């Protein structure tokens, strides 16, 4: 059984020449990941600018950056390994051409000089940029900064905000224009965060085997609840007719990482395939679909 985890073990490692969501893995469920096949050149500079005509939305006019193209433009304080930041990244990529951004690595790990008595896995320390410390009271990513120096943070808030200022309509929205569906997806975005994302850390950080298994079983129940909700509308996404939503984006970065359970905790921590657990069939259909999207 592998040894104890450090915090940096929990995040996937970015391989040279691969995109942010790429990690070397033999897990067959990841074979559909397009991000792993996206060339590094496509992400040069980690920045995009809008090339569409100006939108008429008041929100777009309010956040339009002078001289930065047609749409709103932001400094995006992020960290390549952070699943919370990946929520905002997916939203920005979904609205590429409507919302521009400059990626700024603002949080990470740096090697330091070891001292007598320190363990090898303590040779790294967590650093946060001065800009992040200035613009986010919690100094966490993702953080978006507009041309006037105003900041927006918290990952699910950022997803909703990016969608609001994009000027997108119809199926391109991440938050439905139907108020009832918008409310439902916001409720489920938070529910998925509690039931399917938070237990991920219990599985990997807890040292007691029973507590690890309890966290895993809690996560599985959360996925079964999600599967039941998915079949209420024409799928495979949370909203009808394959419309990507904030609820999907809430779960996606963690669903991608579930494969690490087997590596660190053993085969009994593998998410069952649909042939082994029919109650997860809708979840697996959802996962295959969202992982094949070009913005992921």
Domain boundaries, the chain: 39-168, 179-291
Position 69 scores a pLDDT of 56
Q: What's the gap between Cα 208 and its chain centre?
A: 28
Q: Do domains 39-168 and 179-291 have the same CATH topology?
A: no
Q: What pTM was computed for the model? A: 0.79
CATH 2.20.25.90 fits 39-168, yes or no: no
Choose among 71, 76, 100, 74: nearest CA to 86.
76
Segment 26-83, tens digit of pLDDT? 222 222 233 332 332 332 333 333 332 234 445 544 555 444 456 899 999 999 999 9
pLDDT, averaged across the chain: 81
pLDDT (tens digit per residue) in 173-223: 999 999 999 999 999 999 999 999 999 999 999 999 999 999 999 999 999
Contacting residues for 91 by C-beta, under 8 A, at least 6 apart: 158, 159, 162, 163, 174, 246, 249
Mean pLDDT, to the nearest integer, of 80-96? 97
Which CA distances in Å does 292 have to 22, 29, 32, 155, 287?
13, 12, 6, 22, 9
Which option is the CATH number for 179-291: 1.10.8.10, 1.20.1050.10, 1.10.3720.10, 3.30.70.60? 1.20.1050.10
| Integer CA distances (angstroms), 209 to 90, 107, 129, 169, in order | 34, 31, 37, 48
- Extract the tokens encoding 239: 């909203």
């Amino acid at each position: 059984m592998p040894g104890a985890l450090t915090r940096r073990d929990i995040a996937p490692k970015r391989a040279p020449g691969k995109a942010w969501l790429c990690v070397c893995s033999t897990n067959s469920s990841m074979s559909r990941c397009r991000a792993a096949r996206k060339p590094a050149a496509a992400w040069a500079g980690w920045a995009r600018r809008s090339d569409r005509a100006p939108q008429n939305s008041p929100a777009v006019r309010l956040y339009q950056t002078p001289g930065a193209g047609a749409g709103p433009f932001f400094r995006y304080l992020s960290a390549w390994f952070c699943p919370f930041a990946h929520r905002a990244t997916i939203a920005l990529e979904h609205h590429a051409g409507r919302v521009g951004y400059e990626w700024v690595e603002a949080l990470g790990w740096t090697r330091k000089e070891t001292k007598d008595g320190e363990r090898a896995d303590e040779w790294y320390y967590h650093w946060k940029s001065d800009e992040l410390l200035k613009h986010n009271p919690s100094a966490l990513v993702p953080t978006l900064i507009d041309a006037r120096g105003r900041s927006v943070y918290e990952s699910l808030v950022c997803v909703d905000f990016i969608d609001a200022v994009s000027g997108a309509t119809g199926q391109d929205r991440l938050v439905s224009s139907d108020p009832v569906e918008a409310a439902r997806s916001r409720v489920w975005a938070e529910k998925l965060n509690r039931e399917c994302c938070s237990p991920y850390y219990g599985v990997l950080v807890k040292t007691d085997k029973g507590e690890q298994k309890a966290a895993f079983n809690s996560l599985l129940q959360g996925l079964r609840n999600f599967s039941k909700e998915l079949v209420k509308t024409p799928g495979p996404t949370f909203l009808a007719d394959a419309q990507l939503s904030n609820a999907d984006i809430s779960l996606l970065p963690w669903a991608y990482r579930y494969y690490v359970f087997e590596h660190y905790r053993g085969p009994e921590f593998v998410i069952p395939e649909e042939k082994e657990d029919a109650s997860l069939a809708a979840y697996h259909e959802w996962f295959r679909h969202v992982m094949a999207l070009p913005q992921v």
